[in-house]
Structure 1
Amino acid sequence: MIADHLREQIVLGLLRPGQQINESLVASQLNRSRGPLREALQRLCQEGILVSRRNYGVFVLEFETHDLREIYEVRDIIESAAAGRLLDGSPNQIQDTCEVLKDILGEMAGQMAASDWQSIARLDMQFHSALVAGMGNSRFIRIYKTLAAESRMCILDLKVSYPRVDLLIKEHQIILELLESGDRNGLLKAIKRHMQKAVEDLTATRQDKPVSV
């Protein structure tokens, strides 16, 4: 519970990249002792969202360009594998996954008018997580959970370099339609293009500088 709370605080930008985690303050806010808190911090360090610096404390990870490329490269591999497994599965499995994806896209479209970028970022990753979950492999889902948290931290920065939310939704719509039609080659290409576009948007103005999310 503590790890989930801190992870959400981080991906929402309430705990900023490079910020030190104040154990006393967090323990007081959550009304928890230091023991469980430190276990939660250790878990998040293992996930790579936090970094422990000897004799200094625990800090929120600061992303650099190579981190972004690694995150989206692994996401491409996992989502492509999930898409392939889905298409090899039963029609009902594909249909059920598509229904979930349609609902998420509907919510994303509803957030366009409100310009709620944090909600759009959350729904963006919910879409991709649902695609991976559709294959039914619990270990893939567990691995992807960490990537989703890291990606949400990155996606929030797209508000500056990728203001056209309608284009973002269109990219997801294309992925959904290709999955629904069973177009394997088209779907894998669309996933790869989507990941490459995200990296391009995130790195366009940073040139190996730490990303401010």
Structure 2
Amino acid sequence: MTNYIEPLAQESTPSIIADKLRKAIGHGELKPGAQLGEADLARKLGVSRGPLREGMQRLTQEGLLISIRNRGLFVVDMTPDDVRDMYLAREAIERAAARKILHGDPEAAGAVLLEIVDRMAVAEGDPAAVGELDIAFHERLVQLAGSPRLSRMHQTFITETRMCIHALEETYSASDVRVREHYALAEAIRTGNAESADRLLIAHMDDAIVRLTTR
């Protein structure tokens, strides 16, 4: 497992620190509900408390950290309602991204997404690898829209998605339809079928909510 909470190899900035912490949260190194100790984190990252506080403030603004008065700073704990709300936001972003792609070069974009689906098919049987490729598919989908704002908003929700997948890996990885769902969506985009792509995106998000909230 990659450790994200380790000394930085270059002069730190709040942005670099925020990215390190975001990855640590998304990959389960900092667990949901965990309290963040300022002194311990500063020591592990090899930074002073000033830029660390600024980096943590960025994640508080994103909703990945929560400040509890007289207690400290904690990693947000994703409840079923949080999962539903997060997917509502992801759905809005990814549907917008798909619409923009379909007004550009959908055939090229679809080919890129199908390559990720091929890698997912090869990785079947390795839930962790399939999970990362699942996330990579959706990250690439938004990137292909060429909208920095959509990508920036999407980043926080992808981190929360990773948190959910790590916390509920058995429930999430039990599904055997992920490759098929992603293939159908990528093919709809490649062929320029806007109605089908939108319908499949909605269904895909609804399916993920069920898998991540059914205990």
Give the TM-score normalised by structure 1: 0.87
Among 179, 184, 204, which residue is 1:194 paired with? 204
2:113 aligned residue:
101
1:121 aligned residue:
131
| Counterpart Cα distance in 1 of 2:56 and 2:153 | 18
| Counterpart Cα distance in 1 of 2:73 and 2:172 | 31
| Counterpart Cα distance in 2 of 1:100 and 1:158 | 29
1:33 aligned residue:
48
| Counterpart Cα distance in 1 of 2:127 and 2:174 | 13
> Are 2:82 and 1:67 equivalent residues in the alignment?
yes
What is the number of residues matched between the two proteins? 200
1:76 aligned residue:
91
| Counterpart Cα distance in 2 of 1:111 and 1:4 | 27
Is the CA contact 1:105–1:127 (under 8 Å) kept in the aligned structure 2?
Answer: yes
Is the CA contact 1:121–1:156 (under 8 Å) kept in the aligned structure 2?
Answer: no
Among 153, 170, 193, which residue is 1:160 paired with? 170
Give the TM-score normalised by structure 2: 0.87
Seq. identity, %: 38
Cα shift at 1:3: 1.0
1:47 aligned residue:
62
Cα shift at 1:108: 2.3
1:23 aligned residue:
38
Structure possessing the higher relative contact order (Cα contacts under 8 Å, 6 or more residues apart): 1
For structure 1, the residue ranges without an aligned partner over 5 or more in a row are 206-213
| Counterpart Cα distance in 1 of 2:130 and 2:197 | 22
For structure 2, the residue ranges without an aligned partner over 5 or more in a row are 1-15
Structure 1 residues 55-107: Cα deviation after superposition (integer angstroms, max 9, x where no partner): 21110000111111111111111111111111112xxx323322331332233
1:185 aligned residue:
195
Amino acid at match of 1:69: R
Find runs of 4+ consecutive structure 1 residues off by over 4 angstroms. Answer: none
Could you say what the CA RMSD is over the residues aligned between the two structures, in angstroms? 1.6
1:209 aligned residue:
none
